[in-house]
């Protein structure tokens, strides 16, 4: 059995950078890639472009090397995937990396808690290789799973992850090669059979056209599943979460990367998400607000094992942070940190997590104190917060007030303002963000009026106050929200936002029932009257998606069924779900959650 | 090996290796008690992912199923005057697989094959399925050769002059005139990194007529030309699968 300093499983966005970084540091490196090219979804997979943030550190160095040499001025977020595919492979080979394509890892070798190598199959032959450190850059965490690393996935409510894209590569006239058509193709559980294969097959039909002469620029299906989220490792030490960024200092211990992004969720069933993300997205309409998100070093160190690092979208951070931290540049940063620390660990004969941070942090090229931007954003003085609440752009002020302005001060502003005024309504929302029900009267008025006003602080997805107020009434478990929700669900919700009103109404009723035992019978009757009707449909309209993604009724039926089970109330929601024609993912989810 | 067998049958009559067009034909003919293990996520990858241009599109087909799919491709304007739009192949075949309830499992890496069992890794872990027979539908080299297809484009949208000199460059038309498929012949043993190095070396020495053209995309699968076109491959599978 051949021995290496470092084995990198997966030659995708993180794996290429990890392998090249480790080899540059002098390590002997074996790459095992089950596909046939370098770079994964970032190159041949078609999702080549960057989102908001250009790469930093070692990935930027490689980008400059590639695009400077080839006269492709990389002055936009667009990346020529074909060129990167060729060049990353060339650089890896020139750096001394041993490449094995068509080589699928399927198990680890271990001695006690130490991972000492891998088992893989290439062209029908099973082989083994050993290493001082193995980097799992498979994205699907194959080696971490085999090693028994504790994992988690999805959001708290139903463990569901973000929608995925069934990638098709298209020829765009304004760029020099192919890129992915970007849309959501529904949800997939990439770890469950046979639902995974059924879903994958069905979503190929989103590319079915009656007349292909209208789609001559569509070239080839992607060969990689366009998943945005999957299993995440539980790291050594405390996992870093969105709460740490939005509610804490924002500092991460020994950071190995920084992401400049908004929380770019594709979840369009937001009322089923975790409360903090709902507060941010629905309550404060902050979808497009960009922040710096740090990643601590422990995010690549799986708990319970030695000799194994995780570099890729299975990094050990919370679900909500993943909305920002799934981006291509960060994958490169994770790869660089894993590659450098693994190589140094081999040279020193220690575990990678025992390598002093100072030994490799300079090589990562991290920006200097990017979190100063966040701190400045939240440093608005109180008088300015009040002025902003009385403006068209109250989001930052509402969020800052959540932490910095005492409820008594907000209540005084609320009381002073005219009913129906901007200040009074936004202050009611700021109070609700703090969990304070003092502004419920104004919130109820907004729901009754179907208040269409939307603030303007987010570059997209600013929410109308009518259903935002309904969200807040649910968050506060305001008893009055049930009557308002019934009115919306039994009569027609406003034509402008039927999905948002209906989805937030169901979520509000569930929260009210959870909080008030005496109201559960009424809440249950309302939920059953809607969710037990097989003909009831709930279609998302938050994003431009294909029809398969627009239907949200199955997920909300599951949420209702779970609530009624908590309350001990028998129901037939599961039967209605099956009768409504769920997709394979939804049917499997309903079974997993015990809704059927 | 820690085997997770709950999501796969313990035993089937036939295991087909590869949901290629040929493999789908085999599975269709082999009947319900069949399992198809596909390493990619795309049915019919040997044409679509390989960007294989195909040939002899009007050749007779024995099975009504293959003939019907070819008619569908023509009706959808995916197959026009002997030129097939590769992207259209996947949804057409996927719909046919769903209609016929072919038991295809994606992202399966075969670890070991014996005459009456297959061990493999699926997305949910390691499995072993016993069977009466194993049929391989994986493309394989003929005459020691394989091919890498590369999509090229003239950025200004001008087309190649008819009869332009291009020695050693085997080019195929696409559905639009400013794009062509260049197919590179390789020894069957050529690894991927070597194939791409040859591609770039040859491209650097391309004839004058191609100087303004650029590489858009190189295929992620080699082509082996085991069949003339996807419908012929499906047809062959249907003929052979019941044996």
If DSSP states are collapsed to H, E and C, what string results for chain B?
A: CCECCCCCCCEEEEEEECCCHHHHHHHHHHCCCEEEECCCCCCCCCCCCCCCCCCCCCCCCCCHHHHHHHHHHHHCCCEECCEECHHHHHHHHHHHHHHCCCCEECCCEEEEEECCEEEEEECCEEEEEEEEEEEECCCCCECCEEEEEEEEECCCCCCCCCCCCCCCCEEEECCCCCEEEEEEEEECCCCHHHHHHHHHHHHHCCCHHHCCCEEEEECCCCECCCCCCHHHHHHHHHHHHCC
Are the beta carbons of A211 and B77 separated by less than 8 Å? yes
ipTM of the complex: 0.96
Q: Give A-chain residues touching B147 at CB under 8 angstroms.
A: none
Query: How close does chain A come to B164, measured CA to CA in Å?
Result: 24
Among A37, A217, A225, select the one facing B41 at the smallest CB separation.
A225
Q: Which residues pair with B203 in a beta bridge?
A: none
- Quick check: helix, strand or coil at residue A476? coil
User: Distance (Å, rounded) from C-alpha B172 to C-alpha B235?
Assistant: 24
- Quick check: helix, strand or coil at residue A281? helix
Output the pLDDT for position A172. 83
Closest residue in A to B154 (Cα) is A176
Output the pLDDT for position B167. 73
Output the pLDDT for position A545. 56
Q: A553-566 and A520-531 are packed helices; what angle lies between their axes, rounded to 10 degrees?
A: 150
Contact A256, A337 (CB under 8 A): yes
Closest residue in A to B36 (Cα) is A197
Q: Which of residues 130-169 of A touch B (CB under 8 A)?
A: 140, 145, 168-169
Integer distance in angstroms from the first to the last C-alpha of chain B? 33
Q: Give A-chain residues touching B175 at CB under 8 angstroms.
A: 212-213, 216
Among B77, B94, B122, select the one facing A193 at the smallest CB separation.
B122
Q: Give B-chain residues touching A209 at CB under 8 angstroms.
A: 76, 88, 91
User: Distance (Å, rounded) from C-alpha A7 to C-alpha A458?
Assistant: 43
Mutate one of A204, A206, A222, A227 to test the B interface: name it (highest B CB count within 10 A): A204
- Does A86 contact B at CB distance below 8 Å? yes
Q: Which residue has the tokens 């002025």?
A: A387
Among A34, A201, A213, select the one facing B94 at the smallest CB separation.
A201
- Quick check: helix, strand or coil at residue A520? helix
- Does A101 contact B at CB distance below 8 Å? yes
- pLDDT tens sequence across A214-258: 999 999 999 999 999 999 999 999 999 999 999 877 889 999 999
Query: How close does chain B come to A206, measured CA to CA in Å?
Result: 8
Output the pLDDT for position B243. 59
Output the pLDDT for position A74. 46
Are the beta carbons of A201 and B48 separated by less than 8 Å? no
Among A44, A101, A205, select the one facing B191 at the smallest CB separation.
A101
Output the pLDDT for position A449. 96
Among A104, A204, A206, select the one facing B121 at the smallest CB separation.
A104
Query: How close does chain A come to B120, measured CA to CA in Å?
Result: 9
Q: How far does CA B26 lie from the centroid of its chain?
A: 15
Contact A89, B196 (CB under 8 A): yes
Q: Which of residues 236-265 of A touch B (CB under 8 A)?
A: none
User: Distance (Å, rounded) from C-alpha B52 to C-alpha B233?
Assistant: 13
Q: Which residue has the tokens 């993180």?
A: A14
Query: How close does chain B come to A106, measured CA to CA in Å?
Result: 7
Mutate one of B217, B221, B223 to test the A interface: name it (highest A CB count within 10 A): B217
Among A178, A213, A215, select the one facing B216 at the smallest CB separation.
A178
CA atoms within a 13 Å half-sphere pointing along the CA-CB vector of B98:
16
Q: Give A-chain residues touching B197 at CB under 8 angstroms.
A: 90
- Does A223 contact B at CB distance below 8 Å? yes
Kindly list the distances between the CA atom of residue A115 and the CA atoms of A132, A134, A547, B96, B237, in Å, as whole numbers in the listed order. Answer: 8, 7, 45, 44, 44
Output the pLDDT for position B155. 76
Among A90, A121, A140, select the one facing B109 at the smallest CB separation.
A121
Output the pLDDT for position B1. 44
Q: How far does CA A354 lie from the centroid of its chain?
A: 30
Q: Which residue has the tokens 């998400």?
A: A273
Closest residue in B to A218 (Cα) is B87
Q: What is the pLDDT along chain B (243 residues), one digit of tens a residue?
A: 444 447 999 999 999 999 999 999 999 999 989 999 999 999 999 999 999 999 999 999 999 999 999 999 999 999 999 999 999 999 999 999 999 999 999 999 999 999 999 999 999 999 999 999 999 999 999 899 999 999 999 877 777 765 555 777 899 999 888 899 999 999 999 999 999 999 999 999 998 888 889 999 999 999 999 999 999 999 999 999 875
Are the beta carbons of B151 and A34 separated by less than 8 Å? no
Q: Which of residues 199-218 of A touch B (CB under 8 A)?
A: 200-202, 204-213, 215-218
Q: Which residues pair with A153 in a beta bridge?
A: none
Radius of gyration of chain A (CA): 25
> Residue A289 corresponds to which tokens in the numbers above?
């607000």
Domain residue spans in chain A? Answer: 2-156+230-367, 378-476, 477-596
Q: Give A-chain residues touching B191 at CB under 8 angstroms.
A: 101
User: Distance (Å, rounded) from C-alpha A148 to C-alpha A107?
Assistant: 11
Pick from A325, A356, A360: nearest CA to A339 = A360
State the 10-residue block means of pLDDT for chain A, 596 residues long.
98 97 98 97 88 86 76 60 93 98 98 98 96 97 98 91 90 78 83 96 93 95 93 96 88 94 90 96 95 97 98 94 91 97 98 98 94 93 97 97 96 98 98 98 97 94 95 97 95 85 97 98 98 94 61 95 97 97 93 92
Three-state helix/strand/coil letters over A136-170: ECCCCCHHHHHCCCCEECCCCCCCCCCCCECCEEE
pTM as predicted = 0.96
- Does A560 contact B at CB distance below 8 Å? no
Output the pLDDT for position B168. 77
Architecture of domain A2-156+230-367: 3-Layer(bba) Sandwich (3.50)
Output the pLDDT for position A546. 59
Pick from A100, A80, A300: nearest CA to A172 = A80
- Does A82 contact B at CB distance below 8 Å? yes
Pick from B45, B14, B11, B8: nearest CA to B240 = B14
Closest residue in A to B200 (Cα) is A86
Are the beta carbons of B42 and A204 separated by less than 8 Å? yes
- Quick check: helix, strand or coil at residue A543? coil
User: Distance (Å, rounded) from C-alpha B104 to C-alpha B18?
Assistant: 9
Output the pLDDT for position A248. 78
Closest residue in B to A35 (Cα) is B220
Contact A470, A508 (CB under 8 A): yes
Contact A311, A16 (CB under 8 A): no
User: What are the b/e assignments for B62-91, b being 16+ CB within 10 Å?
Assistant: ebebbeebbebbeebbbbbeebbbbbbbbb
């Amino acid at each position: 059995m051949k021995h290496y300093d470092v084995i990198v499983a997966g030659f995708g966005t993180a794996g290429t950078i990890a392998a090249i970084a480790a080899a540059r540091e002098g390590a002997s490196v074996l790459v095992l890639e089950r596909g046939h090219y370098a770079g994964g979804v970032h190159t041949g997979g078609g999702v080549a472009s960057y989102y908001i943030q250009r790469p930093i550190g070692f990935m930027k160095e490689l980008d400059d090397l590639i695009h400077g040499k080839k006269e492709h001025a990389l002055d936009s977020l667009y990346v020529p995937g074909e060129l990167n595919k060729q060049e990353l492979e060339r650089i890896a080979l020139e750096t001394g990396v041993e490449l094995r394509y068509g080589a699928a890892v399927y198990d680890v070798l271990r001695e006690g808690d130490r991972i000492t190598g891998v088992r893989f199959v290439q062209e029908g032959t099973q082989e083994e290789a050993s290493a001082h450190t193995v980097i799992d850059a498979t994205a699907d965490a194959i080696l971490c799973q085999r090693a028994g690393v504790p994992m988690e996935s999805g959001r708290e409510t139903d463990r569901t992850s973000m929608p995925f894209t069934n990638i098709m590569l298209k020829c765009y006239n304004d760029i020099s090669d192919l890129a992915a058509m970007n849309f959501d193709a529904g949800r997939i559980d990439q770890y469950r059979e046979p639902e995974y294969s059924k879903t994958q097959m069905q979503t190929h039909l989103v590319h079915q056209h009656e007349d292909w002469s209208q789609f001559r620029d569509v070239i080839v299906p992607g060969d990689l599943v366009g998943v945005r989220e999957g299993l995440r490792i539980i790291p050594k030490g405390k996992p870093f979460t969105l709460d740490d960024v939005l509610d804490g200092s924002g500092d991460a211990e020994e950071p190995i990367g920084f992401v400049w992004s908004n929380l770019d969720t594709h979840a369009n069933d937001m009322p089923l998400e975790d409360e903090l993300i709902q507060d941010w997205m629905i309550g404060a309409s902050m979808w497009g607000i960009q922040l710096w998100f740090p990643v601590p070093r422990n995010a690549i160190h799986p708990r319970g094992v030695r000799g194994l690092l995780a570099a890729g979208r299975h990094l050990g951070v919370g679900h909500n942070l993943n909305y920002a931290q799934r981006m291509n540049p960060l994958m490169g940063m994770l790869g660089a940190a894993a590659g450098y620390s693994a190589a140094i660990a081999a040279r020193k004969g220690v575990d990678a997590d025992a390598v002093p941070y100072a030994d490799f942090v300079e090589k990562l090229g991290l920006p200097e104190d990017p979190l100063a931007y966040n701190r400045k954003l939240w440093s608005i003085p109180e008088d300015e917060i009040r002025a902003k609440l009385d403006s068209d752009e109250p989001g930052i002020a509402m969020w800052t007030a959540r932490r910095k302005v005492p409820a008594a001060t907000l209540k005084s502003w609320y009381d002073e303002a005219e009913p129906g005024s901007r200040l009074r309504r936004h202050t009611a929302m700021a109070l609700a963000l703090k969990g304070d029900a003092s502004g419920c009267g104004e919130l109820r008025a907004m729901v009754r009026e179907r208040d269409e006003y939307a603030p303007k602080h987010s570059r997209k997805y600013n929410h109308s106050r009518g259903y935002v107020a309904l969200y807040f009434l649910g968050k506060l478990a305001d008893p009055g929200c049930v009557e308002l929700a019934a009115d919306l669900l039994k009569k027609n919700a406003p034509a402008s936002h039927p999905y948002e009103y209906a989805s937030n109404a169901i979520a509000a009723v569930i929260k009210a029932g959870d909080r008030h035992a005496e109201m559960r019978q009424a809440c249950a009757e309302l939920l059953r009257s809607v969710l037990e009707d097989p003909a009831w449909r709930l279609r998302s309209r938050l994003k431009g998606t294909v029809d398969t993604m627009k239907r949200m009724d199955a997920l909300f039926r599951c949420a209702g069924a779970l609530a009624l089970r908590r309350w001990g109330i028998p129901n037939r929601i599961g039967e209605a779900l099956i009768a409504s024609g769920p997709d394979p993912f939804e049917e499997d989810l309903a079974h997993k959650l015990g809704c059927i | 090996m820690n085997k997770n067998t709950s999501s796969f049958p313990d035993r089937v009559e036939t295991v087909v290796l590869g949901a290629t067009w040929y493999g789908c034909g085999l599975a269709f003919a082999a009947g319900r008690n069949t399992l198809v293990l596909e390493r990619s996520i795309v049915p019919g990858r040997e044409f679509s992912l390989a960007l294989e241009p195909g040939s002899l599109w009007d050749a007779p087909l024995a099975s009504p199923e293959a003939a019907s799919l070819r008619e569908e491709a023509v009706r959808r304007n995916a197959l026009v005057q002997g030129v097939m739009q590769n992207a259209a192949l996947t949804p057409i075949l996927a719909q046919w697989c769903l209609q016929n309830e072919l038991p295809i499992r994606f992202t399966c890496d075969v670890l070991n094959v014996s005459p009456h069992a297959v061990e493999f890794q699926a997305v949910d872990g390691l499995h072993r399925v016993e069977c009466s027979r194993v049929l391989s539908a994986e493309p394989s080299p003929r005459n020691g050769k394989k091919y890498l297809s590369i999509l090229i484009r003239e950025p200004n949208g001008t087309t190649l002059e008819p009869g332009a000199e291009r020695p050693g460059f085997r080019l195929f038309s696409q559905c639009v005139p400013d794009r062509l498929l260049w197919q590179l012949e390789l020894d069957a043993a050529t690894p991927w990194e070597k194939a791409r190095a040859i591609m770039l070396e040859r491209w650097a020495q391309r004839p004058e007529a191609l100087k303004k053209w650029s590489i858009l995309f190189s295929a992620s699968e080699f082509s082996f030309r085991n069949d003339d076109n996807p419908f012929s491959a499906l047809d062959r599978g249907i003929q052979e699968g019941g044996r």
